[in-house]
Structures are given as C-alpha cells and as structure tokens.
Chains A and B, each alone.
Chain A
Amino acid sequence: MKYNMCRPVNKYLDTFISDEDMAMIETIAKFVEKEVFPKRLDLEGGWHRDEKLAEGTLDDLYAKLVALGYQKLGVPKDYGGMGISTALRLALNEELARGDSGLSVHAGKAHAVLGPFVATGNVKKAREYADKLLSNDCYTAALMISEPQGSVNIEDPAQKGRTIRTKAERRGNEYVLNGHKIWGGPAGPAEIFQREKLKGHLGYSLVATTDPSAGDEGIAVFHVPADSPGLSFSNYIKTMGMCFTDRNCEMWLENVRIPEELRTGGVEIMRSRMTTGRLGCAARCVGVAQAGFEIALDFMKDREIDGKPVRERSLFAAQLGEIASEIEACRAHYLYVASMLDNPKKYGPRWSEAMIARASAARLMAGRMVLSTLKKVMEFMGAYGYSFEYQIEKYYRDIIILQQGFGGPQRDALDAIRSYYTFDWR
C-alpha cells in the first residue's frame, strides 16, 4: 500500500474486524493490487469490448480467488466453511471493488443459492450446495427478483407482494412456476456456464407468489436449478457499465416444475436480500471511491501547476481532504451496520424494518459519495480522467448499477424513513 492511511489495518476498526480477519483482508488487498489492477480494463474486454477477453479474464481472476479460498468464506461453519462475519464479508467486497466492482459482485454470486437453504433449515440441500462451494471448482449463481413491471414494486415492503406476477401453483408435491423476470444475472442457458475455468451455474434464487391477494404470506422464494426445463432467456442487456462482469438478461418461466423441497422460505428471505444486498453495494461504493481517490493522489502528485504539485495547492488539498473524510465516514458506517446485522437479538433480524432502513441509508449515502468523488477526481485529472486508460471513467460507469440494484436511491430513502414512521403511498 502506497499510503499508510490506506492500509487495511488503518481502514477497518478492530471492534468490527478481528486480527485473523484482518489477515484475510490483507491477502485480498494484495491480490487486488497484484492481479486485478493490471487486468482492470481487460474485464471489460478492453477498448473494443472483446467478449472472449472479458469472459476469460473474469473466469481467470475468479479461479484465482477460489484458489485463495474465497468461495469457502461464506459457507457457514456447520457446513465446513469459514462462516465469516458480515463485517468481514463487506470489507472483502470493498477490497475487491477497489479493483473492479463487477468482479466483487461476481465473486459473491455463488452464495446466492446457499443462504436460503441454510436459513430455512433444509440441511440436505444446504449440504449439497455447501460441498460444491467448498470444492476447488468455480461456480456462479443468481438472484431473480425484478419483473418487467418495475422491480421497485416487488421490493417495496408497502406493496406486500401484491404486485408480483410470477406465479407458483402447487400441484401435489411440486410447484409449477410461470412468469417473466428481468435483470437477474448472470443468467442464460446452463451450458454457457460450463467453461474452462467455470464448472457451472448453481441456479436461481427466485421470488414468486403463491397468491398475490394473500399479501406478504403469498411471497415465496424458490431455488430454480439452471437447467430446469421451461426456462428461456433473452440476449444480454447492453449496459453502460459492468458490461461483462454482471451480465443481465430477461428470463421466462413456462410451466417450470420445482419440487416442494426447493421452496426456500418466503418474505423474510426476500427482505433479507434487500438488507444484505444494499449493504454490499454500500461497501463496494466505498471500495470504488477509495480506488478513485488513490488514483487522484498519485496523479496530482506528479502533475504540476506553476512548478508545484497540484495536491500541494490549497484549493485542491481541501477537496482531497473532503473526499477522504467522506470515504472514511461511509466505511465506518457500513461496518457499524454490519455489526448490528450480526447481533439480531439486540437490533432485530435482517428482514426487520429497522435493519432494512439502516442498510438502505448506508447505501444511499455511499452511492452519492462515490458519484461525487469520481466526478471530482475526473475534474482534477482533466481530459486524462475522461480517457479509458486512466481507469476513472470505467469506475464511474460501473458504480451506477451499485446505486440502482435492489431499488434505486429514492427507494433507499423511503425504506430508510419508514423505520421512523409509517409511509405507505396511500
């Protein structure tokens, strides 16, 4: 680390991160500097968006992370994994996002399907998927929540599931699923996820309703294996950032038959996703801002105005100071909320109004902070900031989706204030 302030030990407070955990963060931070930094532009396929290059780079970096044990971290101790704390998971997300936020998102995907099995006590299935994650093979998986009529409707607690259109109908000991999903990813025909360095797709954790008029009671989460008959997919949606690292598409379900044992809970699982998902985004925003800040520090050291480095001129120094403050504040806050998340007895379960509110506020703040930071850095660097090879513009494009996933900033704001008083649109 070039700057003492930027060493993990100075970034993460010891009440939240133990010494052992700190060692893990150091490992990932070093990995990012050594392996990810040189490949940042390749993750987007370079200037010409070469799909093969992008896919190859992503698979390669993820395989290296798996070799470092990254896939084992999130598996609970009962199932032979590391069972890491929320704070550590987020800190690692931040460190990876410092390299590439898409890689950070991708690296967490594989666990999307394990959590619900663990939470609902489906030991047999949990063990099956835990064993896969604990092996040396690389996997991916995805959440499927949003629908074309607006994801905000589905994730809005005030709607109580009334607006979910993907239906699950019970027939004997099976459910039959019909509907149309969008934005989840990585998604697509199962075989495209069988690549040289990727063993396969573990499936989708999908939100549906058994009865829209039943409110929260009707909300159901299913594990849909990637090769289930009846699934079809659109082409990839062309996005402005995370072009290959988080590939989204539409998904249609036509009489997809899911055995009863793959129903993995209901509204609580879905709402937990909002908390952990948004908090994860907050951590990644901080990581990206940190990367931008360090690029600015370096650039402004070498760049001079009238014979003196830019960063030693008070106009710029004051702004750098402000950026540093905001980054540190947002970091401290997500760690703080993470520690509460791991203490549900005292602060409420992760699907509670209060915890959704705290995670939403953390993300809202971090999202604004990273946008303003990168905008400032771009101003500091002039046309260089606008150029592909100086990285900033890619970071800038990538982070937009960190703000928008799981509902956008306005959704965050309403979920944050809902913990103070009832707000239900009516």
Chain B
Amino acid sequence: MIKDYALHFPPVLITEEQQTLHKAVHDFVNREIIPIRERLEDEGDLQQKVRKLLVDIGLQRLSMPKEYGGEGIRGTLLNALICEELSRGDVGIAVSLMCTGWAWKPAISGNIKAVLDRFMPDFCGDKVQIGCFAMTEPGGPHGGGGCDIENAVYRGTKLRTTARFEGDECVVNGSKLWATNSGIADLYCIACTVDPKLGEDGIVLAYVPKKWPGLTVGPDEKKCGLKTDHNCPVYFDDLRIPGEWSIGPGGKAAELFWAQLPGVSSGAMATGIMQGIMETVLEYTGQRIVADKPIREHGGPAETLADLAMETELARTWYLTTAYMCDHPEIYGPKKGFLAARMNMARITSEKAVRCAEKAIQLMGSYGYVREYHVEKYWRDSLMITLWKGGTRLSRHNVCRAYYDLEI
C-alpha cells in the first residue's frame, strides 16, 4: 500500500478550476490508459481509440478558440498538468495531443482567419483531428539539423525548405524530418523561408492539409521508444496552397516561430514519466521479498527510492513554477531572457527521468528489463525527450544566454 498523501503532491500554484481538470485527467489516465499501456505502442488501432477518448473528454478542443466551438481555455500551467498526467500513462499520446495544439498556435496567436475558418471547425468537432508542426530538416553541407534550425543564433538562415509566392499562391519545396504526427496529421504547419539569406525576414509558416497535391510522406522512423508518437520524412514538391494559408515573410512569421520553441511541457512530460516509474517500482519492491523482507524495506534500496521520489518532486516543482511564470507575463515579462532560460531548464529535467528509469530497473533486477513490468518502456520513451528541439545540450547554451552573451 502506498501512502496516498505523498503520491498526490498537492501543487500550491494551481487554481481550483485547474485542480478539477487535473483530477479528471488523472482519473482518466488510471481508467483508460494505464491498463493498456503495455499494448499501446504496438497497436495503432488502440492508439486511435485513446485519441478518440481524448476528443470525447474534450481535450482536443480545450485550447481552441470559443468562436469555432473550442473551450478557449489556454494556459501553460494547465497544459503542463495535462502533459504530466497523460505521460504517466503514455508519453507519446501526450506528445501527439500537444503537437496538435502546437501546430495551431501560430494561426491562433496570429489570428490567421483563412486557416481558422477552413480547418478549425473540424478540430473542434467530435472526430479525431491531428496537427503537425514541421521544423527540423534532413540537413546537408549547410547543416540544418534540429540543432541548427532551432538555434536562435542562426535566425532562420539554416532553413532550406522554400516558399515562393506566385500570384495569390504559395509554392513550397523541400522536406522535413522528425516532426511529431507526421504521416498521420490532418493539418501541417511548415516552417520555410523565401530566402535563407534574409534570416528572420524570410521565415514563412505554411498550413497544408493532408493528402494535398505535392505532399508525400515516407515510412515511419523505426525508433527505440516513444512509438505512439509517429515521425516520418515529409516531402514538398511544388506544393501549391492559397497564399492566405501562410504567414509571413517580413518578420511576423519569425516572431510566431520563435514563440513555438521554449516550452515547459517537456519538463511536465518527464515528470509524468518519473511519477509512473515511481508508482511502478514502489509496488514491485513492496511485493518482492529479498532476504526475508520486501526489497523496499532494506536500507540501500530505500535510499534509491528516496532519490526517485526527490527527483520527481523537484521536477514537478520546476515545471509548475516555470509554467506559472509563463502565465503571468505582467510580472515576468515575455518568454525570453530569464524566462526562456527557465523553460530550457525544464527540458533539462528530462535527463533525470532517464536516470530514474535506470535506477528503477536496477531495483527490479531482470524484471525491470521485461516489457510487462513497464519501466523499460518509460526508459526508452524518456530518452527521446532529452533529444527534442535541438536536445538538452543546446538547452544548456540557451540557459547561459540569459546570463551573458554567448556566441559559439
């Protein structure tokens, strides 16, 4: 039996409304995801079923604008709480849901009427609709990996996917890699440029629906984990969309593009994984007898368990306080400078999730290595979080930038 007051670490920063929503998602995950989490990564149908359930409990339309049928509830902290809970069940499902919101963010913030009118009603409906924000590119002699494109220092000069404006049409050429929901998305938001030499002024964000002429996708990447988050190459070959489905150039798209980058959700997802590990390993070590008593009642393992508990609580404090700051720009200002640094720090906490999983596997011996004991999946999944958005190595540089000018 786990003493429950320690498990439900009650956050002091969240409002009653947020607590209620959080509790609903918490119960939902226990009821619908935890029992099937072991099968989820191999069974596409099951993933789709879970996505539909998310639509049914209103999470897909939660942050969408009210005038299109959404709930209009936006906020970094609430989003992060939802991320933590979903990730406890399956982090890929959380990522997939968040990336739908992510693809929509520029259109909502920039109030791009043509895109909103055409696609938003579907996303607020009863069917599963998936969004994809495509940023990273395959690279080449000029670079172009996530680490370059997502590095603010390069100001968009590393983008090689081009947008050309012809009459009232926008023509996109190039390719993208690694974007979450690629291949299964209903709507793509593609970061491209009219000319990489123009830097930020050249950046364009283009919205493209699925199966659009000129859009093709490759096979899914074969990844070691996070399999419920689908990634594949996406190719654009003289893809023509109405010009009004795009944002920029001239700086407006750049602003929206950079606003996409910092985020606390990675930290929240890592926390969810750690909480999941903690619950799993507490149960196992409470039942498994070694030298005549449960593993967790031996001093050494107890200390390791304390480490896991401590790291989990710290990670949670971290994303909650940072998210709170993001939600109060009147005090903490825009998401740059020190706030961007804190958000980058939140991503660094994902490394702790990897270490926690390793420790938990050690406590469980060979069982920890076995699929049906869940922890090995948390471990595989957590590795991916440390690699997003240029990876936690790049995050460290971004942290430094809040303290001093750093030009590598």
Q: Which residues of A contact B (CB under 8 A)?
A: 3-5, 10, 13-15, 297, 301, 311-314, 317-322, 324-325, 328-330, 332-333, 335-336, 339-340, 343, 346-348, 354, 357-358, 361, 364-365, 410, 412-414, 416-417, 419-421, 423, 425
Contacts and interface: CB of A to CB of B under 8 A. Distances in A.
Interface string B24-55: 00000000000000000000000000000000
Interface in B370-407: 393, 395-400, 402-404, 406-407
Contacts of A343: 12
Nearest to A352: B5
A364 B317 contact: no
B342 interface: yes
B319 to A, nearest CB: 10
Given A10-B338, A15-B324, A414-B302, A358 B396 contact: no
Q: Give the top 7 A-B pairs by smallest Cβ distance, nearest first.
A: A321-B396, A321-B399, A413-B306, A325-B345, A361-B310, A318-B396, A417-B306
Contact of A420 (B307, B309, B341, B349): B309
Contacts of B297: 423
Contact of B396 (A15, A312, A317, A410): A317
Contact of A13 (B296, B311, B324, B406): B324
Given A361-B314, A365-B311, A413-B303, 9 more contacts: A4-B337, A14-B328, A321-B397, A324-B400, A325-B345, A336-B317, A346-B10, A358-B313, A420-B2
29 contacts: A4-B338, A5-B341, A5-B402, A13-B324, A14-B328, A311-B400, A314-B397, A318-B397, A320-B396, A320-B399, A322-B348, A324-B345, A324-B400, A328-B318, A328-B342, A335-B321, A339-B12, A343-B12, A354-B5, A361-B310, A364-B310, A413-B303, A416-B310, A417-B296, A419-B3, A419-B6, A421-B296, A423-B297, A423-B302
B286 A5 contact: no
A346 B11 CA distance: 11
Contacts, number: 153
Given A321-B395, A348-B5, A311 B338 contact: no
A420 B408 contact: no
B325 A13 contact: yes
B305 interface: yes
Nearest to B318: A329
Nearest to B279: A420
Contacts of A332: 317-318, 321-322
Classify chain B: how many residues form its interface, as a range.
35 or more
Contacts of B324: 13, 15
A230 to B, nearest CB: 39
A358 B10 CA distance: 12
Contacts of B349: 325, 329
B37 to A, nearest CB: 22
A317 B408 contact: yes
B303 A329 contact: no
Contacts of A358: 313
Contacts of B337: 4
A423 B296 CA distance: 8
Nearest to A7: B338
A312 B407 contact: yes
A4 B307 CA distance: 32
A412 to B, nearest CB: 8
Nearest to A415: B306
Interface in B320-362: 320-322, 324-325, 328, 331, 337-338, 341-342, 344-345, 348-349
Which of A322, A336, A414, A420 is packed against the most chain B CB atoms within 10 Å?
A420
